[in-house]
Amino acid sequence: MEFTLREYSPSDFDALFEIDRACYPRGIAYSRRMLRWYLSQRSSLCIVAQAAGGAEPAVLGFLVAHAHGAEGYIVTIDVLEAQRRSGIGTALLQETERRLAKMGVRHVGLQTATNNEAGVAFWQRHGYRSSGVTRGYYLGRIDAYEMFKELQPARPATA
């Protein structure tokens, strides 16, 4: 499926909330309040993937990240199950990393469940490495890898 990437708009909120609920189990998926809080932060960056064409293009996935100086953090990446393995997650991540680097971020961190084999493989494929495990990170019983990646400084545009 063809898709485009764009900035988050507040009109996307309900679609993002539903996608997050579809991607993660209860207790791990964000509440409306928490998702709205993450999206409202001044340091927040949210990229949305939507189906190309159609009268009302559907949201297929999104990525929320934060930047604070040289440090970045990936809050969540969510792609509808039917659209996984189609390049959407990779495109979301690459665009986010590009924008973070342009903002001066040099180090990006995230957590992913140790039992999420597909997720761990995704992050490793994109250059993220584990720096340790946080016991009981999810729901007090599921461990998470602390993962990180060093970003290259953004290259200035050439004329």
For residue 159, what is the DSSP state? Answer: -
Strand locations in the chain (E): 3-7, 44-51, 59-68, 71-79, 107-113, 129-138, 142-150
What is the set of domains in the chain, with CATH numbers? 3-150 (3.40.630.30)
Question: In whole angstroms, what is the distance from residue 19 CA to residue 42 CA?
Answer: 23
Per-residue pLDDT of the chain (159 residues; tens, 9 = 90+): 689 999 999 999 999 999 999 999 888 899 999 999 999 999 999 999 999 876 666 999 999 999 999 999 999 999 998 888 889 999 999 999 999 999 999 999 999 999 999 999 999 999 999 999 999 999 889 999 999 999 988 776 665
Model pTM score: 0.91
Question: In whole angstroms, what is the distance from residue 28 CA to residue 135 CA?
Answer: 15
pLDDT, residue 84, reads: 87
pLDDT, residue 85, reads: 85
